[in-house]
Amino acid sequence: MSTATVLVVAARHASDDAIEAHADALRAAGAELTVVDLRPARLAERGARSALRAVRETADSWAAARRLTADHRQLVAHADLVVAADRTAVAAVWRCRRWNPRAELVNGVPAALQALGAR
Amino acid sequence: MTRPPHLLYLAWGFPPSRAGGVYRALATVNAFADAGWDVTVVTASRETFERYTGADASLEERVDPRVVVRRIGFDWPAQDTDIRRYSPLRVALPPVWARLRRLKDERTFPEPSYGPWRAPLAAAARAVHDDKPVDLTLATANPHVTFAAAHDLWRAAGVPYVMDYRDAWTLDVFSGRTTTSARSRVSRWQARLLADAREVWFVNRPLRDWHARHFPAVADRMVVVENGWDPALLPPVPPAVPHDGGLRFAYLGTVTPKVPLGELLAGWRAAMADGRLPAGSTLTLGGHLGYFAVPQGPLAEVLADAATDGVRYVGPVAKAQVADFYANADVLVLALGTGRYVTSGKVYEYVATKRPIVAVHDPANATTDVLADHPLVARIDAVTADEVARALAEGAALVDRQDEQTRATLDALADRLRRDRQLAPRVAALRPREDA
């Protein structure tokens, strides 16, 4: 049986290819998948680990959470599994607990694959 | 009537954990039980391994039934993937949350994530001693918090303890640099724990010598207890059966970011492309991707990309299936991180299979010593794709070079590198004297 799954992507470094690879893996594991793309308009390389990058990622995560729309809420409300594809998407996924009290909210695609495998 | 000596074994990772160091832990407690000791293990709960490191249920059946295992809880918030459980601070300001978490972790012992385990572990150790007096504590690390708990019991009840370093604490085994200053909390803890230890074990000579140089007062108590292969876990692997088609290369082990996977795959592609390897040859990789239960995504993507070149990733291999995995290989590939202090548990199993080995690692790696007498090893001079390709071709040629003399040498080497041969002298030496 397929699992209604929402994959939330928010990192500015996430490429379309990477998102597609994640989506393929989740579908192969039994997800009926919808991708919610919250990436900023200007994409960029991730860059080296630094305090500046940490600050930027944190600010990006707040901005991504604010980009959730009413349509996104509808999607999430009917999901069984909501996945933060990257660290920047965690704040947006965390907000989803308001609209869906029963869905599993997980951090990372590997954790989502584990959750799907356990169903 | 004299009672059997009682060993308390402190380990975070223990079956059903599938982490690498577990095999040493398992063999150690079984060796002491075999030698007539009463053995009590204090370790983390089963759920810890199921959630965080991955579990191999078949391993738990390998613990000697005479060994008593007490499990205590272990909480690992940093590895928690359930976003519902995240606090508002963790979500809003992850770097601040991580920093505060680390400070909290290190309050009683300077080890991120594991520090808070010191109190429950020490309390459990004390409870074991109160139930049945302990003659010796053996603590294995990492995590190093087990050493602190052993030290706590020594201070409280005078129970001597052995520190088993499966890895280093203040030495980066890959770069060879020290990781802390001499006056840091970690360094002071290490010096204190070593000073009071009855014995200190290391898995290879370079690690032992480094510590002896830095802690000369303890040098005479520092010994090498090499890893080995476990006959109980690895039944005899039959010789490779002649077959049609290309050769079957195989790698088994945890694939971490330290493993030179990029060089291995590039070398493989080169050797296949220019015909140095027979057409139709395959490279099968088995094992976990990363140290934790959740696989590392980037590694999985690299392996998926190589599928068209005859590279196959088969995922984790349960210990009970390991002999079958090796049986389906003609040549084994030993890919390891760089560093003269780096050692491998898998190399001993590789030796036991008596198959040719392509050693894809820095020649200065401590594993080179383990294979020094192995007659069927193709070594590389440097970790580059060209060298890997050359060694793979050399490994392919070794398949046909298995005469009687070679087989006899391999038999002798495999026998010498059994795990019980490494542990037996220490188990005997640590037995309390009857007149003590």
ipTM of this predicted complex? Answer: 0.91
Q: For residue A84, which residues of chain B lie inside 8 Å, CB to CB? A: 83
Residue B243 in domain: no
pLDDT tens digits, one per residue of B160-197: 999 999 989 999 988 889 999 989 999 999 999 999 99
The gap from C-alpha A20 to its chain's centroid, in whole angstroms, comes to 13
Does B305 share its domain with B411? yes
Of B132, B160, B18, the closest CA to residue B68 belongs to B132
**Contact residues, chain B to chain A, C-beta under 8 Å:** 80-84, 86, 91-95, 293-297, 301, 304
**Which of the residues A15, A66, A106 would you substitute to probe the B interface, choosing the one with the greatest number of B C-beta atoms within 10 Å?**
A106
Read off the pLDDT of each residue in A16-36 and give the average, rounded to a whole number.
88
Q: Which domain holds residue B197?
A: 6-228+419-430
Tokens 């302990």 sit on residue = B134
Residue B54 in domain: yes
d(CA B427, CA B225): 11
d(CA B221, CA B353): 34
Residue B387 in domain: yes
Verify whether the Cβ–Cβ distance A104 to B82 is below 8 Å: yes
For residue B436, pLDDT beyond 60: no
* DSSP codes of every residue in B403-425: -HHHHHHHHHHHHHTBHHHHHHH
Does B23 share its domain with B126? yes
Angle of helix B22-34 versus helix B419-430 axis, rounded to 10: 50
φ, ψ of residue B147 in degrees (nearest 5) = -65, -40
Verify whether the Cβ–Cβ distance B295 to A93 is below 8 Å: no
CA angle B13, B19, B24 (to 5 degrees): 70
Sign of CA dihedral B374, B376, B380, B381: positive
Does B280 share its domain with B170? no
The alpha-carbon gap from B89 to the nearest alpha carbon of chain A, in Å, equals 10
Does B404 share its domain with B424? no
Verify whether the Cβ–Cβ distance B83 to A90 is below 8 Å: yes
Q: For residue B93, which residues of chain A lie inside 8 Å, CB to CB? A: 58
Residue B234 in domain: no
d(CA B128, CA B137): 11
Closest partner residue to A87 (CB to CB) among B82, B94, B301 is B94
Of B161, B111, B119, B155, the closest CA to residue B138 belongs to B161
Q: Does A91 touch chain B (CB under 8 A)?
A: yes
- The pLDDT value recorded for residue B182 is 86
- The pLDDT value recorded for residue B144 is 96
Q: Does A99 touch chain B (CB under 8 A)?
A: no
More confidently predicted of B313 and B73: B73
The alpha-carbon gap from A105 to the nearest alpha carbon of chain B, in Å, equals 5
Of B417, B429, B431, the closest CA to residue B344 belongs to B417
Does B426 share its domain with B412? no
Residue B171 in domain: yes
Interface of A with B in 7-36 (CB under 8 A): 21-22
Torsion angle, CA of B206/B210/B213/B214, rounded to 10 degrees?
A: -170
Tokens 């060993």 sit on residue = B7
Does B62 share its domain with B206? yes
We report the CATH number of the domain holding residue B403 as: 3.40.50.2000
Using left for φ > 0, alpha for ψ between -120 and 50, and beta otherwise, residue B344 falls in: beta
Residues 6+ apart with CB under 8 A from A20: none
Does B156 share its domain with B290? no
- The model's confidence at residue B321, banded by pLDDT at 50, 70 and 90, is confident
The total domain count for chain B is 2
Q: What is the 3-state secondary structure (H, E, C) of B135-195?
A: CEEEEEECCCHHHHHHHHHHHHHCCCEEEEECCCCCECCCCCCECCCCCCHHHHHHHHHHH
pLDDT tens digits, one per residue of B334-374: 998 877 888 788 899 999 999 999 999 988 888 888 999 99
Does B168 share its domain with B287? no
Residue B301 in domain: yes
Residue B435 in domain: no
Sign of CA dihedral B73, B79, B82, B83: positive
Does B41 share its domain with B67? yes
CATH 3.40.50.11060 fits A3-118, yes or no: yes
Does B127 share its domain with B270? no
Half-sphere exposure of B304 (CA within 13 A, CB side): 12
For residue B332, pLDDT beyond 50: yes
Residue B238 in domain: no
Does B198 share its domain with B216? yes
Does B183 share its domain with B316? no
